[in-house]
Chains A and B, each alone.
Chain A
Amino acid sequence: MRKTILYSLMATALLAASGLFSSCEKVSPQGVLLGNTSVDDRVKQSLIYYSYHGADLDWDLTDSIEEYSFLVGSDSHVTFDPGRLFEMIQIGIENDDLFYCHLGDIVDTKPEYYSNTQLALYNATRTWKAKYIKPLIDEYHTADDGLYFDKRITPSTKNYLKPWDDWNLPFYPVVGNHDITHNGWSLFCEQFKTSFYEFTVKVGDSYDRFIFLDSANGTLGDFQTDEIDNNALLNDDKPIRNTFTFTHTNIFRPSLNEFASTYCREELYYILDKLADWNTTIAFWGHVHAWDDRMFGGVRHITMPSMNFVDHPNGGDDLLVRVTVYKDGREPKVERVGLYCKERSKEELESLGYYVTTK
């Protein structure tokens, strides 16, 4: 009996030790054997939101626009200083990028970190609105109507005119494991609403499709794969030119010392097959904090480095990706973009209204 207890303890110790191999900062043996959040539940909740708001996400660009671009970042792991996330959006606004995509692990779960992220995105939203959102005053409208427009959007479409408060920063994230490790889904969906959605960008007569998938648990899960197979997203009937996909968990491991979970065997092949079915132009992956760029099955796969202060205290020339898409159908251009801000002192952050301690 004593031997049995001894070996049970050894097995438990081995289990706990295995958590130390994780790429995560927070080690939780519970999550190694059983997850504490369900991808199925998140996707069900996301689809409810998407069914009401999915069509509002689409962009219909004016005929005068010959090209547009979007920025992609990953693994910002915001704790006390959300500076890198803010810098990403600031760069996007300066360059007139149409929107900003994030591949998950935005935040390290704690409420204080989510609060800091929310404040940074609020500040970024103010800058973005000041540049792009204007009051509509013409022969039919007065300032009292309280309607605002974005001149990049075709006037006849439903998204062209909205009250000031209805204009949101075009920041499109997917959920990562760190966003929800300690039951953080409620915090994530309060801010970002959904983990499974898509939208289109209409430029000229063509549509580009942007699909965001929830793989925070290292799997798309039973429900999400069924919904994908049943075409639950809205845009299967449009003539799609380019498809871009965004999700957290990576397919390709750039080197042997990356210990983050990737997909189980059948799911790996299912996803690669599905991306080929969608005629995906570029599939973006995060999670592993390392760069990888390869063609496989006719799809370009870009795995992104992290943009956080821990991995890159001094920043770097290549932490983001900008993709430029052309109206004339040329192959989209991919370029790498730098982030350089340094982590601020706690005193400075506190003076700006950020949390600098957690309880």
Chain B
Amino acid sequence: MPSNNYILINNMGLFQRLALSLTLALAASTAVAQYYSGDHTFDGENKNQVSVSLTTGKNIITGPCVGNTVHYKHYFNNHWSVDGGINMQYTKGLYGIKAKGEYHLKLMSFHMFASGEYMFNHYNSYNTNENVGNMSVRFERGYWDITLGGSMIGYNMMGDHYTEPLTLTFGAHASLRPRTHDWNVGLLFRNYDDFYYENWNINWGLDFYWKLKPNWKLFGEFNIRPAGSMSQLASKYETTGKVGLIYRWK
């Protein structure tokens, strides 16, 4: 039997829901996170989806973070998909775009997603352009997933270019409910997010989603991005929260 909250939300109009989402986003402004909107979405069907989200938080270098992200994911069939995203972090002066291709294969009791991604970020304050290539494989089961891969990160600033050596990409996510459930809360642990791949700084945090209607999901994330994790002195670097809406259709 659905809860009273579910009935209340279900009876809301679209604009009321949007207003609720934005209120939640603002309420999360002291805590924020970034939702990894391209992943963790397989719930029995591969559906096209578009998501919009608001991010707020604080970064020790750039101060308050306020920005938004738009993603679109398109399935050509049950195996192949492409994903594009735009990120605008206004107070950081960080603007990014990315494109990703993914192949989905059911492998015994796992779902395997192999992906290749290209990302471009412009850090306006330092007039720096960053190019990132990533190849990853993600294994999913009902309650958890693990991602392993590699990233190549290069940047141009002050007329010089540097490409970092290959960096391991790793992520782990565990959720309280199975992926097919109407709501979920999860724990994340990874060295990347929607619009960055880190070296050896490990993000961790909480995320959630709530299926408002069959095609609509409210999602959010609380993300702690410390510096110095692998030096064993993890220290405050960035805390962000993200709240957004996903619309899915076949």
What 1/0 flags go to A1-35 for Cβ under 8 Å of B?
A: 00110011011001100110111101110011111
Determine whether the beta carbon of A249 is less than 8 Å from that of B228. Answer: yes
Q: Does B15 contact A (CB under 8 A)?
A: no
Q: Specify which of B196, B234, B237 is in contact with A33 (CB 8 Å cutoff).
A: B234
Residues of chain A contacted by B237 (CB below 8 angstroms): 219, 264, 267
Q: Does B218 contact A (CB under 8 A)?
A: no
Determine whether the beta carbon of B233 is less than 8 Å from that of A33. Answer: no
Q: How large is the interface on B (under 10, 10 to 19, 20 to 34, 35 or more residues)?
A: 35 or more
Interface CB pairs A-B, < 8 A, 16: A3-B143, A7-B174, A18-B229, A26-B232, A32-B232, A35-B233, A217-B233, A249-B228, A254-B165, A260-B231, A261-B200, A264-B225, A264-B237, A273-B128, A295-B160, A297-B159
Determine whether the beta carbon of B226 is less than 8 Å from that of A267. Answer: no
Cα separation A35 to B170 with both chains bound (whole Å) = 21
Q: Does B111 contact A (CB under 8 A)?
A: no
Q: Does A330 contact B (CB under 8 A)?
A: no
Residues of chain A contacted by B117 (CB below 8 angstroms): none
Determine whether the beta carbon of B227 is less than 8 Å from that of A37. Answer: no
Residues of chain A contacted by B59 (CB below 8 angstroms): 266
Determine whether the beta carbon of A219 is less than 8 Å from that of B227. Answer: yes
Cα separation A256 to B151 with both chains bound (whole Å) = 11
Q: Specify which of B92, B174, B231 is in contact with A8 (CB 8 Å cutoff).
A: B174
Determine whether the beta carbon of A297 is less than 8 Å from that of B158. Answer: yes
Cα separation A27 to B232 with both chains bound (whole Å) = 7
Q: Specify which of A10, A35, A253, A295 is in contact with B235 (CB 8 Å cutoff).
A: A35
Determine whether the beta carbon of B200 is less than 8 Å from that of A260. Answer: yes
Contact residues of B with A, CB < 8 Å? 59-62, 92, 94, 121, 123, 125-126, 128, 130, 143-144, 155, 157-160, 162, 164-167, 170, 172, 174, 176, 187, 189, 196, 198-202, 204, 225-238
Residues of chain B contacted by A270 (CB below 8 angstroms): 61, 125-126
Residues of chain B contacted by A216 (CB below 8 angstroms): 228, 231, 233
Residues of chain B contacted by A266 (CB below 8 angstroms): 59, 61-62, 92, 94, 123
Q: Does A36 contact B (CB under 8 A)?
A: yes
User: Max chain B CB contacts within 10 Å: which of A15, A18, A37?
Assistant: A18
Contact residues of A with B, CB < 8 Å? 3-4, 7-8, 10-11, 14-15, 18-19, 21-24, 26-28, 31-39, 177, 180-181, 216-219, 221-222, 225, 249, 252-256, 258-267, 269-270, 272-273, 276, 287, 294-298
Residues of chain A contacted by B235 (CB below 8 angstroms): 35, 38-39, 217-219, 221
Q: Which 8 A-B pairs have the closest CB atoms?
A: A218-B228, A31-B232, A219-B227, A297-B158, A217-B235, A256-B165, A269-B126, A177-B231
What residue of chain A has the Cβ atom nearest to residue B94's Cβ? A266
Determine whether the beta carbon of B61 is less than 8 Å from that of A267. Answer: yes
Determine whether the beta carbon of A218 is less than 8 Å from that of B201. Answer: yes
Q: Specify which of A33, A254, A256, A269 is in contact with B155 (CB 8 Å cutoff).
A: A269
Given contacts A23-B230, A262-B199, A264-B198, 10 further A-B contacts (CB under 8 A): A3-B143, A15-B189, A180-B233, A252-B162, A255-B165, A264-B227, A266-B61, A266-B123, A269-B155, A270-B126
